[in-house]
Amino acid sequence: YAVSRFSVAAGLMAPWIGTASSPKVLKQAMECGAWVAFGYIGQAVGLMTTTASKSCFICSLNVVFVAMIVGITKRKFDPQTLAAAVLAVAGVGFLELAGSQQFVIGDLISLAQPIGFGMGYIRLEEIMEKNPKDALPVTAVKLGMVALASWAYYILTTGTPDLEPVLASSAALTGILYTGLVTTALALVVESVAFRFIDATSASVIFTTEPLWAAIFAIWLINEPFSAVDAVGGALVIGANVIKEMPEESLPWNWKSEEKSTDP
């Protein structure tokens, strides 16, 4: 699935590699793509033993990882980001961890997701801040790196992939084309463009809404139930995004200092 999905996405975006503004941008995009590939391989290997819900929760920890790395590199403690991160992780936990299994080795392997995806966000922010017009070539290189990593991992562990079953099944082919073109290529282009306007910490908080959207679409399309626990989780995730984007002076811990500054 990964080989098919990322090959389709990388093939679509490949023509834009030549439009990069400089070789340096391509090199930086390769590093960014390598981190993302690391995250995806950890996700795939982890899912051999862990559950999808636990994998999703572990992936959401990228919001904590990004906040930690940014705080260390900038030497600045940001209580607003920390509060948003805690709320976001708690919300995803409510959405995904009901009735979860005991610890398995796949949980540990899945930690590649917050590390790989988190570093990918940080590197993408750095690239787009200095090269705002390179969204398409950067996305193309990232997808190429993930596709190459998927092929390499498959060949090393299993052998040459047999794509005939995918090509012979209309359902599988439709799924691969949709996920490759829409939820991978298009989504990553939009992500790259968005990083022209937001930072990595904000993006990592926003991405924690993914399980909430999954729950909403599951209710709409396949009539899955939405429990009170799901509602609590959704409220926490939304609250995290609200807190992250609020003006600093509007936050509760700044109220007293704001009052003092307005005293005559």
Q: Is residue 181 part of a domain?
A: yes
State the pLDDT at residue 164.
87
Please give the tally of structural domains in the chain.
Answer: 1
**Cα–Cα distance measured from residue 163 to residue 170, given in angstroms and rounded to the nearest whole number:** 13
Note down the domain range covering 90: 1-250
Q: Is residue 258 part of a domain?
A: no
* Structure-model confidence comparison of residues 241 and 258, the more confident one: 241
Q: Is residue 199 part of a domain?
A: yes
Q: Is residue 263 part of a domain?
A: no
Q: Is residue 261 part of a domain?
A: no
Q: Is residue 159 part of a domain?
A: yes
Within 28-83, strands assigned E span none
For residue range 156-176, list pLDDT tens digits in order.
999 988 888 888 899 999 999
For residue range 137-146, list pLDDT tens digits in order.
999 999 999 9
DSSP string, 169-215: -HHHHHHHHHIIIIIIIIHHHHHHHHTTTS-HHHHHHHHTTHHHHHH
Q: Is residue 83 part of a domain?
A: yes
Q: Is residue 255 part of a domain?
A: no
